[in-house]
Structure 1
């Protein structure tokens, strides 16, 4: 299940829904079979993560209740999105209580997923002549998630300088290198400016971890790759600068101009109802009314979100909703930092590798959410929750055959 989710999320149209449903069903079955061991195997950090997921979901569901409208996600794809964090919590609960995750499944999954995304993007761009390849989905989540998978391929190359069990061989190291390049290629070809703004931060995060294990020359090479000049990237960034100049001169019809208009409209909405927000449907109705009055560019009415997770959540669910979103971002980030430090104490690079993966996932989605409401997109939300749960289940109690090292309330199998 872990391998399939990582490898096929961007490949098959319904993978974002079918694989999580199977994961939930498996987790519930595990809970029924192993219900007597749930409390014994659940750590305090697991409870914290479950609270974070539950509160985010419950506040979103309360917003649905007061407005009687369900969000359907970007391009009307995805259903019952507010329930998904609760289902992710059920998966975490079931897997941490009964399932021993196998580390190579994670590394093979991210490598194959990034390779397939790169192959699809290359085929659509170079063979079919599409300007922004997307595999039949929104090009922005496609490029962003491909970039994230490619970055995750770098983590074991930076931290794990020894064989990872019988599966970590020269073949897998080669697959990870190719996966990293393929993920970056898919992001470049998809034309996602936001992803390439985030990637230097991800590269710095991975490089900072690599300073402890890699020669400085390799670290500098990694940073150079993050900032490498590529024609598509330069063109898209140059286009963004031109859009910004046009916006300052009164032009609001460009890609960046429409985003700035949406953020300006979101700030106006927030000032009117800061505590509880406008709610599902009501936000769009009020925004469109202001558009009719001539306050904003009519182009922003084409979208069902404000292209920024923080602005959209604050305008839609107010300060309370924003608090749950920030908890969903930064509480897991603190937990992964804690796992990283615990891995350092016991000298376990494997624990550190999974903790670094978790931090990369959170930082990536925080950055992606600055220019796109990734958590209102079906594949974006599914990808974030799935990767977050897998990283927590793997790093919080890293279970690989071998030595068991007790660490307070945790039992890290390294």
Structure 2
């Protein structure tokens, strides 16, 4: 809410001519708006807001609209690139420090920082990976400004993020990390001398192996547990962690088959699922959860094909734009554009992977992390592109006042309606 308040203040104080929107800016705003409005329409037809753990999920459908407001504000007053890089690094360092303290000092098997261990480990892994981007992409003049201790701090931040992921036992993140590492290695192949690239890969692999075989790390235990859960599930025992997740996906597929176009709606999904649980179709442990442990399955079952398309657009359109800018940045030899385009692509790919086995976008920390990192990467990318006279898409200046005003009034209307419904 603090970020939204600052965004509104910025929009009110800054001149309309500042931060002119281009066609790709408007495309990002549209996917945020459509995803949010479809979720709000689903809430309206079902008469129920998301609950989430501890009742923290009630505002989730409005958050993409808030992210659009922040995007409009940051396009007028872009954040500092160095604040981004050191913010990511400090976040990864704190995540690694908290995980190490809880695991080694307090003796917790899966550290979670007072939240669900899965989003904690996933976001820490992403922050650690983003810390590597500064070392891989920001070479030349900008890299020359970094001292040895600063480079060492970035390396330590990357290791801390990986350590937090390993200690948290997030198996979904471990599946996604090879893809993230491959993207970083592709960028390194373009940006770094071959010897340094080989050294980077060797250090990364050695670090992963060392963390995986830490005496008290949960990697081998978690992998073994997963194999055992799968074996028990094939034998008809669905009460394990992996077994319940497979049961939820099976229930989700059955829900999708019954209402594929518009889905069951917010709250009604749980009611129908629990009815089938009472009939003995699924394990009773499934009813403990308010989601289906997959963004894709959960969104498809709740909002049907329409909701699934909005989710895919939220992923794929920004990913396509980030990849496009990265390719153009390589051709123009603009390393700052490459760095922020790579960071944005990593954010989208990471959450696409995380969302396969966990409903990250229905978790307050997960959704906040995705929207915040996505909008920050996009605004920093556009700042770098425009400051270097980078050839991008033409600004749609005639649409700028209309888009700004529409977003401001839309958010005010939605918030007022929410308050009146309480």
| TM-score after normalising by structure 2 | 0.88
Q: Which residue of 2 aligns with 1:52?
A: 31
Q: Distance in 1 between matches of 2:252 and 2:264?
A: 10
Structure 1 unaligned spans of 5+: 1-20
Of 94, 97, 112, 1:116 maps to: 94
Q: Which residue of 2 aligns with 1:92?
A: 71
**C-alpha contact 1:141 1:379 (8 A) present in aligned 2:** yes
Q: Distance in 2 between matches of 1:124 and 1:408?
A: 47
Q: Which residue of 2 aligns with 1:305?
A: 291
SS in 1 for 2:389: strand
SS in 2 for 1:131: coil
- For residues 187 and 168 of structure 1, do their structure 2 counterparts lie closer, same or farther at Cα, with a shift above 3 Å needed? same
Shift of 1:161: 2.6
Q: Which residue of 2 aligns with 1:170?
A: 148
- For residues 103 and 157 of structure 1, do their structure 2 counterparts lie closer, same or farther at Cα, with a shift above 3 Å needed? same
Match status 1:150 vs 2:128: yes
- For residues 223 and 183 of structure 1, do their structure 2 counterparts lie closer, same or farther at Cα, with a shift above 3 Å needed? closer
**C-alpha contact 1:74 1:376 (8 A) present in aligned 2:** no
Q: Which residue of 1 aligns with 2:106?
A: 128
Of 260, 273, 277, 1:291 maps to: 277
Q: Which residue of 1 aligns with 2:5?
A: 25
Richer in helix (by share): 2
Of 238, 253, 259, 2:245 maps to: 259
Shift of 1:23: 1.6
The Cα RMSD (Å) is: 1.8
Of 324, 329, 336, 2:315 maps to: 329
Match status 1:221 vs 2:239: no
SS in 2 for 1:304: coil
Shift of 1:201: 0.9
Match status 1:364 vs 2:350: yes
Structure 2 unaligned spans of 5+: 396-422
Q: Which residue of 1 aligns with 2:393?
A: 409
Q: Distance in 2 between matches of 1:404 and 1:349?
A: 11
**C-alpha contact 1:124 1:130 (8 A) present in aligned 2:** yes
Q: Distance in 2 between matches of 1:197 and 1:190?
A: 14
Q: Distance in 1 between matches of 2:93 and 2:390?
A: 37
Q: Distance in 2 between matches of 1:57 and 1:84?
A: 7
Match status 1:245 vs 2:231: yes
Q: Distance in 2 between matches of 1:252 and 1:278?
A: 25
- For residues 408 and 258 of structure 1, do their structure 2 counterparts lie closer, same or farther at Cα, with a shift above 3 Å needed? closer
- For residues 301 and 226 of structure 1, do their structure 2 counterparts lie closer, same or farther at Cα, with a shift above 3 Å needed? farther
Q: How many residues align?
A: 387
- For residues 125 and 223 of structure 1, do their structure 2 counterparts lie closer, same or farther at Cα, with a shift above 3 Å needed? closer
Q: Distance in 2 between matches of 1:358 and 1:197?
A: 19
Bigger Cα displacement from structure 2, 259-268 vs 206-215: 206-215
**C-alpha contact 2:343 2:377 (8 A) present in aligned 1:** yes
**C-alpha contact 1:111 1:176 (8 A) present in aligned 2:** yes
Match status 1:208 vs 2:208: no
Q: Which residue of 1 aligns with 2:41?
A: 62
Shift of 1:342: 2.1
- For residues 45 and 64 of structure 1, do their structure 2 counterparts lie closer, same or farther at Cα, with a shift above 3 Å needed? same
Per-residue CA deviations over 1:31-80 (Å, capped at 9, x if unaligned) read: 11224215x61111100000000000000000000011010224532331
**C-alpha contact 2:88 2:131 (8 A) present in aligned 1:** yes
Q: Distance in 2 between matches of 1:65 and 1:35?
A: 36
**C-alpha contact 1:72 1:81 (8 A) present in aligned 2:** no
Q: Distance in 2 between matches of 1:61 and 1:43?
A: 27
Q: Distance in 2 between matches of 1:380 and 1:399?
A: 28
